[in-house]
């Protein structure tokens, strides 16, 4: 069964955490307190998210507020919203051209 | 608890030129790219630019309210001599800052900055800022290429003494677009000695040259520091280390809280930065309530008032000999 979007986002978060951070990650896991992710690491996460899902946040006009990301759940929800927005934009573009 | 943020700027490219920000973002891009992150200066710019659309300080006021910050000091640094992409003249910048004071009565104080190489016109403008615009201090930015003890600044310090307003000066590194050569806090020593009735605030003193800044605060009665940019330490130190260290040295009567808004808007909100400093069990946990209040608002309020104990006033005036 292929990984879900949530699984892929969790994998990104786990990859960004320092080696000594806890590895059992749930939606409630706190990014800074539990995983040691500082603001630079969260910024890096945003770029890796773009790379993983092929989304250009600048082209999407998305204003990513890293400061609002407190838990893994926040990251999953923000990521899902951006993916949905990117998909809707792509569908709209295809309707215009078809 | 009352909180005064002693170090903010208007979040607009009208006041912080693009070249200043782009150079800082390029530095961040190097850090991220070295770790294999596909970050480019252009991408970082696209993330940061939306944070610089608050020319009237409406967003800042909203964040202050959410964070429990009652007042903030807006610092109008003058980059116009050193950087060539400033969109406003110094006078226009001052007028816009005055407009913000009027738009948000009671929420802000403004420290106007003038590069001393602008000569007599600059000095006249600074005096107008104090007598007509309602500004309450002087912002000095040595990375633009001058020492804080440069003789050209002495007429400004005389005005500060006359009007009993403090000077806030940047110390330490800043945007790579500017020089770091004249940013050591010891360079203010001559000015602080020659102008004993003027209070000098070493900006970012908890993270930039903290030992030197603490030393200046301990031995010069008219030298203070603010802790703004403590957020930079979050990247490589436990978040408490910078602030916990500076409030553990017996100089809490000289320390001012500050956030350097909007510089760290990508890292968090004003509520985050207030919580980082003032939370239970945080870096101020080891100091008493009196000192905590001094850092939160007492020291800033004293400097924004007369800056001197009332009983000192006549004695200090009699001792004012700096020529």
Give the whole-angstrom CA distance, residue B138 versus residue B111.
5
Assess contact for B36 and B100: CB atoms under 8 A.
no
Q: Kindly report the average pLDDT of chain B as a whole number.
A: 92
Give the whole-angstrom CA distance, residue B193 versus residue B215.
14
Nearest-by-Cβ selection for A39 from B38, B46, B267: B267
CB atoms A43 and B32 under 8 Å: yes
Nearest-by-Cβ selection for B267 from A48, A63, A67: A67
ipTM of the complex as predicted: 0.78
What's the pLDDT score for residue B197? Answer: 95
The greatest distance separating any two alpha carbons of chain A, rounded to the nearest whole angstrom, comes to 51
What's the pLDDT score for residue B64? Answer: 98
Give the whole-angstrom CA distance, residue A21 versus residue A9.
17
Strand locations in B83-160 (E): 108-112, 137-140
CB atoms A47 and B43 under 8 Å: yes
H and E: helices and strands count for chain B: 13, 10
Instruction: Give A38's contacts in chain B (Cβ within 8 Å).
Output: 234-235
DSSP string, A17-77: S-TTS-----TT-BTTTTT---HHHHHHHHHHHHHHHT--HHHHT----GGG--BHHHHHH
Give backbone dihedrals phi and psi of B139, rounded to 5 degrees, phi first.
-105, 125
Say whether residue B7 is in contact with chain A using an 8 A CB cutoff: no
Say whether residue B275 is in contact with chain A using an 8 A CB cutoff: no
Give backbone dihedrals phi and psi of A87, rounded to 5 degrees, phi first.
-65, -40
> Which residue ranges in chain B fall short of pLDDT 50?
236, 308-311, 313, 316, 318-323
Candidates B139, B132, B188, B177; CA nearest to B8 is B139
| Structure confidence by residue, pLDDT tens digits, A40-70 | 888 889 999 999 999 888 788 777 777 778 8
Candidates B231, B224, B175; CA nearest to B198 is B224
**Could you give the 3-state DSSP secondary structure of residue B201?**
strand
What's the pLDDT score for residue B238? Answer: 54
**Distance from A34 to chain B by nearest Cα, in Å?**
13
What's the pLDDT score for residue B310? Answer: 47
Angular region, B172: left φ>0, alpha ψ -120 to 50, beta rest: left
Rg of chain A taking only CA atoms, in angstroms: 14
């Amino acid at each position: 069964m292929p990984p879900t979007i949530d699984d892929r986002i969790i994998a990104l978060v786990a990859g960004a955490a320092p080696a000594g951070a806890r590895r059992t990650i749930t939606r409630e896991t706190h990014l800074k307190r539990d995983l040691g992710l500082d603001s630079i690491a969260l910024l890096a996460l945003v770029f890796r998210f773009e790379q993983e899902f092929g989304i250009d946040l600048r082209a999407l006009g998305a204003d990513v507020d890293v400061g609002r990301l407190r838990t893994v759940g926040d990251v999953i929800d923000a990521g899902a919203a951006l993916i949905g927005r990117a998909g809707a934009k792509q569908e709209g573009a295809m309707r215009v051209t078809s | 608890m009352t909180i005064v943020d002693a170090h903010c700027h208007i979040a607009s490219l009208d006041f912080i030129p693009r070249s200043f920000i782009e150079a800082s973002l390029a530095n961040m891009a190097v850090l991220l790219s070295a770790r294999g992150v596909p970050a480019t200066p252009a991408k970082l710019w696209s993330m940061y630019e939306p944070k610089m659309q608050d020319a009237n300080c409406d967003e800042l006021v909203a964040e202050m309210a959410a964070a429990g910050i009652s007042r903030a000091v807006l610092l109008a640094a003058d980059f116009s001599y050193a950087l060539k992409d400033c969109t406003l003249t110094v006078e226009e910048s001052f007028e816009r800052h005055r407009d913000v004071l009027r738009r948000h009565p009671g929420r802000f104080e403004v420290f106007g900055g003038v590069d001393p190489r602008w000569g007599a016109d600059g000095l006249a403008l600074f005096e107008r800022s104090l007598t007509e615009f309602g500004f309450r201090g002087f912002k000095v930015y040595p990375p633009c290429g001058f020492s804080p003890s440069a003789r050209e600044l002495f007429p400004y310090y005389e005005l500060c003494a006359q009007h009993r307003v403090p000077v806030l000066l940047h110390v330490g590194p800043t945007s790579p677009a500017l020089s770091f050569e004249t940013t050591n806090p010891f360079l203010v020593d001559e000015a602080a000695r020659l102008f004993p009735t003027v209070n000098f605030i070493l900006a970012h003193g908890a993270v930039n040259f903290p030992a030197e800044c603490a030393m200046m605060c301990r031995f010069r009665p008219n030298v203070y520091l603010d802790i703004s940019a403590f957020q930079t330490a979050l990247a490589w130190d436990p978040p408490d280390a910078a602030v916990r260290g500076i409030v553990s040295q017996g100089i809490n009567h000289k320390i001012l809280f500050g956030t350097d808004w909007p510089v760290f808007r990508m890292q968090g909100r004003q509520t985050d930065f207030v919580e980082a400093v003032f939370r239970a069990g945080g870096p101020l946990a080891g100091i008493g309530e009196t000192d905590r209040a001094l850092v939160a608002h007492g020291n800033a309020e004293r400097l924004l008032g007369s800056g001197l104990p009332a009983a000192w006033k006549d004695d200090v005036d009699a001792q004012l000999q700096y020529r």
